[in-house]
Amino acid sequence: MSIFKDCDVRGIYPAEIDETAAYRIGRALATLYPEARLRVGGDVRVSTPTLKTALITGLTDGGVHVEDLGTIPTPALYFALAKGDCDGGATVTASHNPPKYNGVKYMMGENPVTRRDIDALKAVYETGGFADRKGSLSRLDILPDYLAALKRRFRAQRPLKVVVDAGNGAMSRVAPEAFRQSGYQVVELFCEPDGTFPSRDPNPAQYEHLGAVCAKVAEMGADFGVAFDGDGDRAVFIDETGVAVQNERSLALFIRHLLKDRPTPVVYDQKSSSAVKRATLEMGGTPVPERSGHAFIKRRFLELGAAVAGEVSGHFFFGELGYDDGLFAALMMADILVAADRPLSRLAGDIVIPPITPDLRVHCPYSQQDAWLERIEALAGTQPCAVSHMDGVRMEFDHGWLLVRKSVTAEQITLRAEADTEARLREILKMAAEALPEEAREKLGFSLGKGIRD
């Protein structure tokens, strides 16, 4: 499996990515962007310090002028880049992936990298035709400025109590401080940085990982809770009863808040619940579905000048920033609660989400993935539907939809479906199961009984 993904570099440490690889990535970036000025940070993973040192050495050996930002959440890198005085930046992180992974996210200018950028990096990395120049290294402590900007933007009008679950990740020290300086009462949970992530999986978008924070919110009588991923660019919210709020509901609340005075387009990944489209239309905005993936959502969000964008995974992008920030999202959610003077459970409950499955992942060898998608698309000949191919096959039926996509990281296909009623959802899943080979039916058969959530 290649470490060069659609929008970053990522793999298992040290089997797939190690210090030698990080050094070569630095040399390749320096070759592609000669004498660039880059700001470089890293998350709290155990392997990050040595990988970051190797990356920076590769950059400076190739002529790049590096400002080392130290250990930071990824949104602090975006903040550092937005302040200017640099050409781009990079951070050593594997985001929400398990502890054994690590990688490099990078960007030049405000736009995310494209597959073409990644392919160019891979080509130089593999051929080794590196530029040989003399760069420089200095250090920049960006966190005080990042926190000061959040303090200027958010001031509590009512002292809510917030449980902050940093998952031992990069937001461990930053998020509690941001909430306190804005005037909120903070209950810390898993806010000691630990790159082994001993307390929970670093992906909070898998709601089964959130038992501890849900219990803590209820125990402490908090107004809400927030759980961050490993590098702090994703956030998931917990209502005052201790129930995790689906990310589509959270996005709909941001849409209602941000479009009330200035309707704009709203960009969201195509596997989102129809609740997002409905909330956008209700506020006079233009719904713009996009293929799943941080880089794809961000690029379209910037192109359209959208006030807000989001993904099912918990990335929330804000027009006033020009990027996604889990901590900014959490502070804005506090603003929403104060302005509404209603509990989060009631606000979220107003967002009606029809019956919808989670992502259903079915093992499928790479060699068979196209054939499986063709089997699904053949369903279009059996009943009226609209078919699109933004990423995989999406079929819009009467009273529901089905999305089937290839996985870019594993030998899997992923299915998701939504319908007006559970009965219709079961019909769609049954239809998909019958179109696929026998080995896929057991997984989907199980999902017919247990995979639906509303």
Answer whether residue 259 shows pLDDT above 50: yes
Q: For the domain made up of 9-141, give the CATH fold.
A: Alpha-D-Glucose-1,6-Bisphosphate; Chain A, domain 3 (3.40.120)
Q: What is the pLDDT of residues 337-391, one digit of tens each?
A: 999 999 999 999 999 999 999 989 899 998 999 999 999 999 888 888 999 999 9
Whether residue 451 is predicted with pLDDT greater than 90 in this model: the reply is no
pTM listed for this prediction: 0.95
pLDDT at 409: 64
pLDDT digit string, tens, across residues 97-138: 999 999 999 999 888 999 999 999 999 999 999 999 999 999
Q: How many residues does the chain have?
A: 454
Residue 187 clears pLDDT 50, i.e. is over it: yes
Q: What mean pLDDT is reported for the chain?
A: 94
CA distance 4 to 27: 15
pLDDT value of residue 454? 42
pLDDT at 16 over 60: yes
pLDDT, tens only, 264-320? 999 999 999 999 999 999 999 999 999 998 999 999 999 999 999 999 999 999 999
The set of residues, in sequence order, having a beta carbon less than 8 Å from that of 39 and lying 6+ positions away, is 66, 67, 69, 77, 80, 81, 86, 88, 89, 90, 140, 142
Which whole number is the average pLDDT over 147-174?
A: 97
Residue 437: half-sphere exposure toward Cβ, Cα within 13 Å: 13
Q: What is the DSSP letter of 273?
A: -
pLDDT at 448: 53
Percent over 70 (pLDDT), the chain: 97
Domain positions in the chain: 9-141, 146-349, 360-450
Q: Domain 146-349: which CATH class?
A: alpha beta
Catalytic residues: 95
Asked whether residue 453 carries a pLDDT value surpassing 80, the answer given is: no
Same fold, 9-141 and 146-349: yes
CATH entry 3.40.50.720 includes domain 360-450 = no
